[in-house]
Chain A
Amino acid sequence: MNLDLDCRGLLCPLPVIKLAQALPAVAVGDTITILADDPAAATDIPAWCRMRAQELVSALDHQYVVRRLT
């Protein structure tokens, strides 16, 4: 299962906040695909995954796939 999250046009820290708020909506092992064009997201989404112990599956062209691990 995958949840899509469109954060285009949102400035930092909103994409990361939306991601954190969406996490409980997916089961452990499922993914969230975030579209975010704010330049800070390129650093902050991987940093969030590291700090919150979730998996960054991919980060490419403003599209980030995150897997819920806990």
Chain B
Amino acid sequence: MSERAYLDAASAESLHPAAREILLSALDSGWADPARLHHEGRNARLLLDNARAVLADALGVRPDEVYLTSSGTAAIHSGLPAVAAARRRVGSTIVHSAVEHSAVLHAAAATGTAAEVGVDSLGRIDQDAFSAQVTQPGVALAAIQAANHEVGTRQPIAWAAEICAQAGVPLFVDAAASIGRDAVPGGWSVLAASAHKWGGPAGVGLLAVRKGTRLSPAWPVDEREDGLSPGHPNVPAALAAAAALQARLQEAEALDKQHRAWIDELRRRVAADIADVEVVGDPDDRLPHVLTFSCLYVDGEALVTALDAEGFSVSSGSACTASTLRPSHVLAAMGVLTHGNVRVSLGRTTTYEEIDRFAQVLPGLVRRIRAEVGM
């Protein structure tokens, strides 16, 4: 094994160089409590305000509409129940797609009565069913992801926002897989995202809440972030997250073009060079950097391990070991093969040489694993 190729950017990207410098200097200047009135506290507060302003600008919202949390999951776990609680007089039904991130599924199940809307074989929401559910009485909110984290398929957010606006239902958009890589249409009431997905540090999430959306935080609250994120915020990390997103958006157009071309090529080569393979997700209306496929008769974790030994880092939605109870709920909802599953996702430092080598190595590994089980 010579060099490693990290092809799991959809799980986490390495820290953006622009964020690294900012983080190191903010560790020295932004450690104090931003709620305090002394010199050090005011310095920290300035950095936090700066981070919020940059993030707001990147998302196209006002700074006072941005709340910083301790992760994307925490943003969803605090934000979704807070929107639902403010609508408890209307009802407690939470309409969501079957392919939401588990953070949304868990928050919905813990908050009210979940009304799940199915998807087609590409992973796109059943629009008739969504529309029918949202217009029922008693809906607290609807949750749809901007694009799927496992298969890359975009959801019709602009359309959903119109349906929700007509019904007077807040739309909660989990945009964690998209922000920094793919433009997210407007019209939503609340948007959640996660910094380590765009090259910021882990431990920073955000909620953008449009004015007019009522919130009633559902857990013990303090004075921070209007009760949406208790405790002393990680100011250096927030500032680094903002710097990373700003830098990332400047590169987004070039990376989008490059990643789309490479994923298109990889999609063609995987389908052509491997027998009995199912490439999943929308081929066009999708995130630029994600490719997911499933190989018949292959243990997904064995394939991840074999690829790792060849220097490739990828993830899998398969559950071919006793340690995981169920395969990916996303693949199951789409009705596509769940075993032998691999997700490849490209980052800002991915090279063509890496994906070319991946496409060359993969078919032999699949053949070897199949041969081991007599296929």
Residues in A lying within 8 Å of B, measured CB to CB: 11-14, 16-17, 20-21, 39-40, 42-44, 46-48, 51-52
Contact = CB atoms under 8 A, between A and B. Distances in A.
B332 interface: yes
Contact of A43 (B321, B322, B338): B338
A11 B320 contact: yes
Given A21-B374, A40-B327, A13 B340 contact: yes
Contacts of A12: 299, 318-320, 327, 338-339
Interface residues on B, range: 20 to 34
A3 to B, nearest CB: 18
B339 A40 contact: yes
Q: Which residue of B331, B337, B373 has the most chain A CB atoms within 10 A of its CB atom?
A: B337
B296 A39 contact: no
B322 A47 contact: no
Nearest to B322: A11
Q: What secondary structure prevails in chain B residues at the interface with A?
A: loop
Contacts of B320: 11-13, 40
A40 B335 contact: no
A39 B325 CA distance: 8
Nearest to B296: A51
A48 B322 contact: no
Interface string B310-339: 000000001111100111000110011111
B132 interface: no
A39 B326 contact: yes
Contact of A48 (B319, B325, B337, B374): B337
16 contacts: A12-B299, A12-B320, A12-B339, A13-B298, A13-B299, A14-B373, A16-B339, A20-B375, A21-B374, A39-B325, A43-B327, A43-B331, A43-B338, A47-B278, A47-B338, A52-B276
Contacts of B318: 12, 40
A51 B276 contact: yes
B297 interface: yes
Contact of B297 (A11, A13, A42): A13
A47 B337 contact: yes
Given A13-B297, A13-B320, A51-B296, A43 B337 contact: yes
B276 A43 contact: no
Contacts of B327: 12, 39-40, 43
Contacts of A51: 276, 278, 296, 337
Contact of B336 (A16, A21, A43): A43
B317 to A, nearest CB: 10
A11 B296 contact: no
A16 B374 CA distance: 12
Nearest to B337: A47
The 3 lowest CB-CB distance pairs between A and B, nearest first, are: A13-B339, A47-B337, A12-B339
